[in-house]
């Protein structure tokens, strides 16, 4: 009913708009003077110090949250991290043991492949740390440690607020692990805390201006394909943007590492092909710009998503989505919001059943 949707036309739109609150609730009580309060989860300090790597396992959108975390953990926390799809992990005799922490991410806590991955990791002696949105779910019960996200019930099949809270949880866990291992100093941790705390207002700012995204969607909803380009963290978040679009609008889309385009996918770019270029990582601006130009030369229509403190993409782009600024490493948590909105409004313009896309289920409890 309309009341259940809080006045919104769809659950997906309601849940996108709930993201500032969902992040606040997930951070609540966990940011302290001396770091991140996860002591209730009782991860032993000696154990954290002795870890040789992290293995992240999940499906769908949760897997995409794991891809962002991999970039953040390796680059900033300095711990080798592998992110795997649960249905692959469980069948590849993975190299996990007692010195590898397995992190599973699951909104519902009931995804069959993810549960099987927990059992596989445990059978090899690995401890399992769950990030889940459902109290007492199978994933929560079967894991050694649990950090809950507080997104609240997510009804739309396409996950939005769960993803953003998974990222917040993964960043806090990374901060906690980095402090214990001595790979992060207090200066960085303070900055990370401030960046996380500032996210809800930045996300709200994007939500307040969603009319503009709707206008862009209304102009382009008839396209056949969409290519998302990015590097590093921008590539990781592009994967999620592309998944959102295909799930709800049924438009064919792919996310591609911008520099890899010329090795094949560029062949698909023709006059009018829609390109969403995600460029929020300063050190990669010039590199991504030249990839944007490669697609423009072939007739691509370029929508660039970047931070609001540069103009370097203006000439090469047909349309700009300027995001509130933040440190590079935190940007995926902000960038995903316009990508969700674009997918949503494109699907609405195409008359799709946004909350219940064909062939998909909210929780996949069979193999």
Minimum distance from CB of 231 to ligand G6P (Å)? 24
CB 126 within 8 A of CB 97: yes
User: Closer to ligand G6P at the Cβ: 41 or 364?
Assistant: 364
CA 32 – CA 5 distance, rounded (Å): 35
Give the phi and the psi of residue 270 in degrees, each rounded to 5.
Answer: -135, -175
Position among 22, 59, 146, 333 found at the interface with ligand G6P (CB under 6 A): 59
Task: Tell me how far apart the alpha carbons of residues 98 and 109 are, in angstroms, rounded to a whole number.
Answer: 23
Show the beta-strand stretches assigned E in 23-159.
Answer: 31-32, 35-36, 53-58, 81-85, 100-106, 127-132, 145-148
Using the minimum distance from each CB to ligand G6P, give the nearer residue, 67 or 189. 67
> Is 342 in contact with 277 (CB distance < 8 Å)?
no
Determine the interface stretch with ligand G6P among 55-63, 190-198, 206-214, 299-307 (rule: CB under 6 A): 55-63
**Whose Cβ is closer to ligand G6P: residue 108's or residue 295's?**
108
**d(C-alpha 290, C-alpha 152), whole Å:** 41
Which of 241/300 has CB closer to ligand G6P?
241
- Of 106, 138, 165, 340, which one interacts with ligand G6P (CB under 6 A)? 106
Restricted to residues 155-194, the positions that interact with ligand G6P (CB under 6 A) are 157-159
Residue 110 CB, nearest distance to ligand G6P (Å)? Answer: 7
Which among 195, 258, 242 is positioned nearest to 64, based on CA atoms?
242
- Would you call 362 a catalytic residue per the annotation? yes
Name residues contacting ligand G6P, limited to 291-350 (CB under 6 A).
Answer: none
Hey, which residues are catalytic here?
362
By CB under 6 A, name the binding residues for ligand G6P. 59-62, 106-108, 111, 114, 157-159, 360, 362-364
């Amino acid at each position: 009913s309309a009341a259940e949707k809080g006045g919104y036309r769809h659950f997906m739109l309601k849940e996108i708009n709930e993201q500032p609150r969902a992040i606040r609730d997930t951070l609540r009580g966990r940011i302290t003077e001396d770091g991140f309060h996860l002591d209730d989860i009782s991860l032993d300090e000696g154990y954290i110090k002795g870890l040789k790597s992290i293995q992240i396992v999940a499906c769908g959108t949760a897997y995409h949250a794991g891809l962002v975390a991999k970039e953040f953990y390796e680059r900033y926390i300095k711990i080798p991290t592998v992110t795997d799809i649960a249905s692959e992990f469980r069948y590849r005799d993975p190299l996990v043991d007692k010195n590898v922490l397995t992190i599973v991410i699951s909104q519902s806590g009931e995804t069959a492949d993810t549960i099987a991955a927990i059992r596989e990791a445990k059978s090899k002696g690995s401890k399992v740390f769950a990030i889940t949105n459902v109290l007492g779910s199978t994933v929560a019960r079967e894991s050694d440690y649990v950090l809950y996200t507080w997104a609240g019930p997510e009804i739309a099949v396409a996950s939005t607020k769960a993803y953003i809270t998974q990222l917040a949880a993964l960043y806090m866990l990374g901060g906690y692990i980095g402090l214990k291992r001595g790979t992060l100093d207090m200066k960085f941790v303070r900055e990370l805390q401030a960046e996380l705390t500032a996210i809800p207002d930045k996300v709200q700012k994007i939500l307040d201006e969603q009319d503009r995204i709707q206008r862009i969607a209304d102009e382009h909803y008839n396209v056949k394909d969409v290519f998302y380009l990015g590097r590093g963290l921008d590539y990781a978040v592009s994967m999620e943007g592309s998944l959102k679009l295909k799930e709800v609008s049924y438009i064919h889309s792919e996310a591609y590492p911008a520099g890899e385009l010329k090795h094949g996918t560029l062949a698909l770019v023709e006059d009018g092909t829609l390109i969403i270029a995600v460029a929020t990582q300063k050190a990669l601006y010039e590199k991504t710009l030249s990839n944007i130009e490669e697609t423009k030369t072939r007739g691509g229509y370029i929508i660039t998503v970047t931070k609001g403190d540069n103009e370097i993409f203006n000439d090469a782009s047909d349309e700009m989505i300027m995001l509130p600024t933040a440190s590079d490493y935190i940007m995926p948590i902000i960038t995903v919001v316009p990508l969700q909105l674009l997918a949503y409004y494109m699907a609405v313009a195409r008359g799709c059943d946004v909350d219940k896309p064909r062939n998909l289920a909210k929780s996949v409890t069979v193999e």
